[in-house]
């Protein structure tokens, strides 16, 4: 799940995880940017580097959450594949872990995506996959292709060797048919433009584009005929005042003028939204819309959004 900053990609990622966790399915929701956005959303203490159950889906599914931390992932990786118990500590002491995770190009992304890769391939005692689905609250649109296309990142660095092998394996999974990149946007010019740019980038990197999810869509209380009536002047302050006279407010020309002014400004904003919707209509992937939640996002709202995603076919 990617999207421009401020479009609500963490919220949509969480809603998708809940939506996927139906009928006993087990879903892992990961974050990779150290923001603890998931913990805040689910109102739980900051997540450690450890998979924890944080919610249930309809019909008994489970949502696990994990905050992936590059340093912890590297130590785990070293321990798991190289049995580097003592050496791992020595590396840390010498600042190698710090170097590798902050300055060594691409390594950070290989580690973050590598952990997703590991969780995606992990099998339980019964031989089946540990998770039925993994949802990643990924970096923003501007960085997403580079983040997933780790192979490219380390290509200039390591032509052979274990890091390269790991990067190759991760890239194969990311480019595979079981991975889809969903893009969250809002109906504003910049986020829509960035979404289109990101789709082009993803495609040229052979990464699968999933759906475009338009978040925070506000339904207008004004019907198109009402907007016409305001625009054309057919509905004027006197007419509004006459209608108001039938209510507890009472007739008021002043209110009529004020309400008309607000209505006109509202119509302008609606039109801008309509324009952006038209731009998105040119995209050849399915566009899903999520309604704006005015009361702020809580658990109830997350389940509503999950339901909305499911009803529109994303599950």
Partner 1 sequence: MTGQARTTPGAGPAWVRGGTGGGAGNASLDVDALLTDPDTQIIVCCGSGGVGKTTTAAALALRAAEQGRAVCVLTIDPARRLAQSMGLTELDNVPRPVAEAGAEGGGSLDAMMLDMKRTFDEVVEAHASPEKAKQILSNPFYVALSSSFAGTQEYMAMEKLGQLYDEAGAGSARAGKRWDLIVVDTPPSRSALDFLDAPERLSSLLDGRFIKLLLAPARGPARFLSAGFAIVTNALNKVLGAQVLSDVQTFVAAFDTLFGGFRQRADATFALLQAEGTAFLVVAAPDPDAMREAAYFVERLTHEDMPLAGLVVNRVTDLPAAAMLDASEAESAARTLDSGAETDQQVAGLLRVHAERMLVRAREQKLKRSFSAAHPAVATVSVPALAGDVHDLEGLRQIGALLTA
Contact between 304 and 311 (Cβ < 8 Å) = no
Distance CA 275, CA 69 (A): 40
Closer to partner 1 at the Cβ: 22 or 193? Answer: 193
Instruction: Pick the binder of partner 1 from 25, 58, 146, 277 (CB under 8 A).
Output: 146
Closer to partner 1 at the Cβ: 82 or 176? Answer: 82
Q: Over the Cα atoms of the chain, what is R_g?
A: 24
Closer to partner 1 at the Cβ: 94 or 203? Answer: 94
- Strands, E assignment, 11-120: 26-31, 52-56, 62-67
200 sits near partner 1 (criterion: CB under 8 A): no
96 sits near partner 1 (criterion: CB under 8 A): yes
Listed residue (292, 279, 288, 285) closest to 311, CA to CA: 288
Footprint (CB under 8 A) of partner 1, residues 281-300: 294, 296
Distance CA 69, CA 51 (A): 12
End-to-end CA distance of the chain: 14
Contact between 255 and 249 (Cβ < 8 Å) = yes
Please tell me the count of residues contacting partner 1 according to CB under 8 A: 80
176 sits near partner 1 (criterion: CB under 8 A): no
Instruction: Pick the binder of partner 1 from 206, 261, 298, 311 (CB under 8 A).
Output: 261
Footprint (CB under 8 A) of partner 1, residues 222-251: 222-223, 225-226, 229-230, 235, 239-240, 242-244, 246-249
Distance CA 149, CA 159 (A): 15
Q: How far is the CB of 236 from partner 1 (least distance, A)?
A: 10
User: What are the CA-CA distances from residue 169 to residues 107, 134, 174, 243 (Å)?
Assistant: 14, 17, 9, 68
Q: How far is the CB of 294 from partner 1 (least distance, A)?
A: 7
Closer to partner 1 at the Cβ: 11 or 62? Answer: 11
Instruction: Pick the binder of partner 1 from 257, 283, 301, 307 (CB under 8 A).
Output: 257
Footprint (CB under 8 A) of partner 1, residues 10-39: 33-35
């Amino acid at each position: 799940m990617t999207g421009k900053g401020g479009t609500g990609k963490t919220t949509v990622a969480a809603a998708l995880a809940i939506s996927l966790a139906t009928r006993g399915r087990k879903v892992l929701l990961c974050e990779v940017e150290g923001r603890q956005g998931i913990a805040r959303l689910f109102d739980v203490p900051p997540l450690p580097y450890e998979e924890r159950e944080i919610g249930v889906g309809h019909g008994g599914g489970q949502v696990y959450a994990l905050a992936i931390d590059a340093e912890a992932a590297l130590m785990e990786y070293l321990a798991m594949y190289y049995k580097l118990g003592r050496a791992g500590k020595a590396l840390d002491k010498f600042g190698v872990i710090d170097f590798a995770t902050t300055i060594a190009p691409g390594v950070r992304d290989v580690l973050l995506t590598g952990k997703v890769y590991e969780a995606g391939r992990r099998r339980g005692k019964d031989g089946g996959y540990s998770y039925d689905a993994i949802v990643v609250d990924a970096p923003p649109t501007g960085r997403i292709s580079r983040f997933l296309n780790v192979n490219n990142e380390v290509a200039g660095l390591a032509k052979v060797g274990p890091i390269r092998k790991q990067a190759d394996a991760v890239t194969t999974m990311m480019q595979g048919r079981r991975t889809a990149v969903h893009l969250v946007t809002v109906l504003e010019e910049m986020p829509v433009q960035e979404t289109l740019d990101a789709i082009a980038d993803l495609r040229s990197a052979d990464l699968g584009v999933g759906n475009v999810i338009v978040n925070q869509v506000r339904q207008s209380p004004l019907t198109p005929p009402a907007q016409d009536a305001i625009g054309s002047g057919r509905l004027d302050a006197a007419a509004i005042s006459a209608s108001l006279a039938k209510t507890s407010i009472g007739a008021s020309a002043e209110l009529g003028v004020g309400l008309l002014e607000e209505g006109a400004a509202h119509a302008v904003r609606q039109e801008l939204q309509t324009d952006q919707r038209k731009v998105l209509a040119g995209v050849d992937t399915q566009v899903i819309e999520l309604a704006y939640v005015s009361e702020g996002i809580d658990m109830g709202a997350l389940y509503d959004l999950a339901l909305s995603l499911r009803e529109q076919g994303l599950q």
